[in-house]
């Protein structure tokens, strides 16, 4: 199977070949034919399965086939993402796959001045990628109007609802024209996502690239039972002893993420942290250094890690197990991308034991138990209550801060202004 067999046009095929993509992934094979026919779609796909290209390619193709000039602030395609990192990543994908086409695109999100974004919109864009808060702000100010939207995409809808964006989503949907194509993508299906999609999609096609909540087979998953005080020495030993070329570590809180990175640096390991309290310049530098290889270890919170799409992450380490088992699937999916092998290590204390049980029930797999010098039999045999969920993970106020879009920041993509390519 090739992209040509899916009736993808030559300019897009050339861009894919240039980037080294020769064959479509399962989610692309399933989704693209339906999307080219204009059907609404609900797609279930985990991170790293190629779902972004599954909707980017059909949108680019259909826009190029019906070429017309977009009015200022009136996009033809609107893609909503839960975080700034993911919005920037999607915008980059449009630039990459559409490099041999002529179209305008930009991304808008909070954490940066709105002036440059308003200027981009005033020139007219075909494709707009946005986070909910900044989009609503600019809509209220009259800089964005949605009456021309033909293609509407909600990416990571499960995360969007989990972060408390349900009311924002309804306001955005209410501003869309009655006739448009809607595409929803999620890694998991819950009752809430199902009800939301049912109200907004018209005779949708349902596709699932992998069994819901199952983890990718190419990722080796291991658990280390350990006491809380031994997590840091265990982490240092693993990073020093194993072939960890590029490591993404997940912490439950922002404060702990900073502490982990600081202690690793004190041990001579190049590490930094990324979370919502970091300044714009700090976040940008950390991401750039991690992608370029100058930074070996990046420590992140769940929300800040959305949209981190970095090649060749050899290991994901759950320093703290997530309060929500679905987050585990998202976390470990940052390694083992595009069929590559990856490793996911989880540290589990006695009060996290129930969290591990919930993860194993969700994924229908038992995680391999590793023997090590800091092994805690107490943690292995614990039957007590799960750790208290981190309030910052579930609370909309904590996530979004004092103003709109005060969740994770990401630098504007200077290389991809809204210009004709």
Q: What are 343-375's pLDDT values in tens digits?
A: 999 999 999 999 999 999 888 888 999 999 999
The number of folded domains in the chain is: 2
CB burial string 143-168: b at 16+ within 10 A, e below: bbbbebbbbbbbbbbbbbbbbebeeb
Greater confidence, 149 or 332? 149
**What pLDDT is attached to residue 305?**
62
Residues 197 and 224 in one domain: no
pLDDT tier at 34, thresholds 50, 70, 90 = very high
Domain of residue 261: give its range. Answer: 219-390
Q: What is the pLDDT of residues 171-209, one digit of tens each?
A: 999 999 999 999 999 877 778 888 888 888 999 999 987
420 in a structural domain: no
Q: Which of 13-17, 154-158, 276-280, 364-368 has the highest mean pLDDT?
A: 13-17
pTM of the model as a whole? 0.71
Query: 140 or 219: which carries more pLDDT confidence?
Result: 140
Same domain for 155 and 240, yes or no, is no
Handedness of CA 66, 72, 73, 74 (dihedral sign): negative
For residue 416, being part of any structural domain is answered with: no
CATH number of the structural domain spanning residue 178: 3.40.50.300
Residue 407 belongs to some domain of the structure: no
The pLDDT score that the predictor gives to residue 395 is 35
pLDDT tier for residue 391 given thresholds of 50, 70 and 90: very low
**pLDDT score recorded for residue 50:** 84
Residue 130 within a domain: yes
Q: What share of the chain in percent tops pLDDT 70?
A: 86
For residues 181 and 276, state if they share a domain.
no
Q: Check residue 307 and give its pLDDT.
A: 60
Residues 147 and 257 in one domain: no
Is 328 a domain residue?
yes
- The C-alpha atoms of residue 259 and residue 44 are separated, in whole angstroms, by 36
Look at phi and psi of residue 360 and say left if phi exceeds 0, alpha if psi is from -120 to 50, else beta: alpha
Q: Range with the lowest mean pLDDT among 83-87, 216-220, 395-399?
A: 395-399
pLDDT at 219: 87
Task: Tell me how far apart the alpha carbons of residues 225 and 418 are, in angstroms, rounded to a whole number.
Answer: 50
């Amino acid at each position: 199977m090739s992209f040509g067999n899916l009736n993808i046009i030559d300019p897009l095929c050339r861009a894919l070949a240039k980037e080294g993509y020769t064959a479509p992934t399962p989610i692309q094979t399933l989704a693209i034919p339906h999307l080219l026919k204009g059907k609404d779609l609900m797609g279930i796909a985990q991170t790293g399965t190629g779902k972004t290209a599954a909707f980017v390619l059909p949108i680019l193709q259909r826009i190029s086939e019906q070429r017309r000039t977009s009015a200022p602030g009136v996009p033809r395609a609107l893609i909503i993402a839960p975080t700034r990192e993911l919005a920037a990543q999607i915008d980059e994908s449009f630039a990459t796959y559409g490099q041999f086409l002529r179209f305008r695109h930009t991304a808008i999100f909070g954490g940066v001045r709105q002036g440059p974004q308003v200027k981009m919109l005033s020139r007219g864009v075909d494709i707009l990628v946005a986070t909910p808060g900044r989009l609503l702000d600019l809509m209220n100010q009259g800089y964005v109007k949605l009456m021309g939207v033909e293609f509407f995409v909600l990416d990571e809808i499960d995360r969007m609802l989990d972060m408390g964006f349900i009311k924002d989503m309804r306001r955005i949907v209410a501003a869309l024209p009655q006739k448009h194509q809607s595409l929803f993508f999620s890694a998991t299906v819950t009752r809430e996502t199902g009800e939301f999609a049912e109200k907004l999609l018209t005779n949708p096609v349902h596709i699932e690239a992998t069994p819901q909540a199952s983890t990718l087979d190419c990722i080796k998953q291991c658990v280390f039972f350990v006491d809380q005080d031994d997590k840091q020495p265990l982490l240092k030993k693993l990073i020093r002893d194993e072939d960890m070329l590029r490591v993404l570590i997940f912490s439950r809180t922002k404060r702990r993420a900073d502490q982990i990175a600081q202690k690793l640096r004190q041990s001579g390991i190049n590490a930094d942290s990324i979370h919502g309290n970091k300044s714009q310049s700090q976040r940008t530098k950390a991401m750039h250094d991690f992608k370029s290889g100058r930074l070996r270890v990046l420590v992140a919170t769940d929300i800040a890690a959305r949209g981190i799409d970095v090649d060749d992450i050899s290991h994901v380490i759950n320093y703290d197990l997530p309060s929500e088992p679905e987050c585990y699937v998202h976390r470990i999916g940052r390694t083992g991308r595009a069929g590559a092998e990856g490793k996911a290590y989880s540290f589990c204390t006695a009060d996290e034991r129930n969290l591990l049980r919930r993860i194993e029930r969700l994924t229908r797999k038992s995680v391999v138990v590793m023997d090590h010098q800091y092994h805690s039999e107490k943690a292995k045999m614990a039957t007590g209550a799960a750790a208290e969920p981190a309030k910052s993970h579930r609370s909309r106020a904590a996530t979004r801060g004092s103003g709109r879009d005060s969740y994770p920041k990401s630098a504007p993509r200077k290389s991809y202004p809204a210009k004709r390519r």
